[in-house]
Structure 1
Amino acid sequence: MYIHVGDDVMIRSSEIIAILEKDTVHSSDEIKHFLAENEKAVVHLSNGNFKSMIITNPHVYLSPIAPGTLKKRLLTPESDVEIDD
């Protein structure tokens, strides 16, 4: 199954490692360090004002779509995704 994460980008749901809220990204020194270390892998899907960070292998997407909306898209009846809140 694929999920739309913003700006006409679709990713395979099985590739998603984590979906983080904007507040979590801004408040965590570890995540800031992770982003700095993986700067070349970051894909900006919004005009600098993202709502969620989606970590996959090999990319990190900064998405304008709220984490709750992404979660709903992942939990459709045809989905085989398990979510750990």
Structure 2
Amino acid sequence: MYVHAGEDVMIRSSEIIAILEKETAKDSQEIQIFLDKKNDLVINLANGAFKSLIITEPHIYLSPIAPGTLKKRLMNSIGHELII
């Protein structure tokens, strides 16, 4: 199944590793180091400010869609509860 992540991008739900809030990504030094190392794999889907960070294998997406909305879409696509 796929999850709409913004713009015209659909991400295969089985590739999603994590969905993080923008503030979590900005406040965590570990996540900043991770993003710096993977900078060439970051795809910005937000024309302005992003609301969530979607970590997949192999890319990292900056999405304009709120993490709660992405969670609902992901839950609907896989048909069961997620562990948070």
TM-score grouping bracket, smaller chain normalisation: over 0.9
Q: Give the match for residue 22 of structure 2.
A: 22
CA distance in 1, matches of 2:21, 2:47: 17
Q: How far apart, CA to CA, are the structure 1 residues paired with 2:80 and 2:45?
A: 23
Shift of 1:81: 5.7
Alpha-carbon separation, structure 1, partners of 2:3 and 2:62 = 14
Q: 1:33 to 1:22 in 2, by over 3 A?
A: same
Q: Counterpart in 2 of 1:39? A: 39
Tell me how large the CA RMSD over aligned residues is.
1.3
Q: Residue 79 of structure 1 corresponds to which residue in structure 2?
A: 78
What is the letter of the counterpart of residue 11 of structure 1?
A: I
CA distance in 1, matches of 2:79, 2:37: 32
Query: Which structure's residues are more often helix, by fraction?
Result: 2
- Identity of counterpart residues, as a percentage? 62
TM (normalized to structure 1)? 0.92
1:11 paired with 2:11, answer yes
**Tell me, which stretches of 5 or more residues in structure 2 are unaligned?**
none
Q: Which runs of 5+ in 1 are unaligned?
A: none
What TM-score, normalized to structure 2?
0.93
